[in-house]
A and B are shown apart, each in its own frame.
Chain A
Amino acid sequence: MTNRIRVLRAEHDWSQAEVADKLGIARQTVVALEAGKYAPSLPLAFKISKLFGKPVEEIFDAESST
């Protein structure tokens, strides 16, 4: 699974630590998410969707494999 978190974060000019604090997760989790190493749970995916104001399917792409 790939995602556009890094791009969206850059658009908002947020650091990984800022995104981590906004989502209530660790910075290492943001790093793993951006690297596509970790697929978030559905609740976290929706929190990420709400944070960036975009639907889940515009952020995550389940088609591509990691």
Chain B
Amino acid sequence: MKSTNPTAVANRSYIAEMAVCMVAYVAVLVPAIWLLNRGLEGPLRVAVAIAPVVPIVFVFVAVLRYFGRTDEFERRMLLESLGIAGVITALLAATYGFLENAGLPHLSAWYTWAAFMGSWLIGRIIVARFYR
């Protein structure tokens, strides 16, 4: 029998919502890339290029919904891990920005995204160890 504990329900809903977001992301990304490679021009090109952001917004909506449904301790750990991720990302972005002044190649903004997601995971691990 499935647990009716609110935190277990929150976990299940979060996983289901994230799965829907991932499917939606691929469903938008693949045709968007295909259209861009076909040489779409004008404002429509911009709209199609940023279309995959919409399912990503829903990823954060899912995180927010999870935040509202889970218990206060998990909420605290989630916030602390996001704080750690923000600090690490800001430091990495600033450090590399200065290194660019020293002649290192200019990097895509995607690296900031990857740094944030990676440091969020690191933040989760640090916070989990702290409260163990």
A and B found bound together = yes
Category for how many chain A residues contact B: 10 to 19
Q: Is the CB of B72 within 8 A of A44?
A: yes
Q: Is the CB of A38 within 8 A of B71?
A: no
Q: Is the CB of B131 within 8 A of A25?
A: no
Category for how many chain B residues contact A: 10 to 19
Q: Is the CB of B3 within 8 A of A25?
A: no
> A24 with B73: in contact, given A32-B131, A37-B131 (CB under 8 Å)?
no
- A-B interface pairs (CB < 8 A), number: 44
Contact string against B for A residues 22-53, beta-carbon threshold 8 Å, 1 for contact and 0 otherwise: 00111011001101011011001000000000
Besides the contacts A26-B70, A28-B74, A38-B131, what 14 more A-B pairs have beta carbons closer than 8 Å? A20-B7, A21-B3, A24-B5, A24-B7, A25-B73, A26-B71, A26-B74, A29-B72, A32-B73, A33-B73, A35-B131, A37-B130, A40-B72, A44-B72
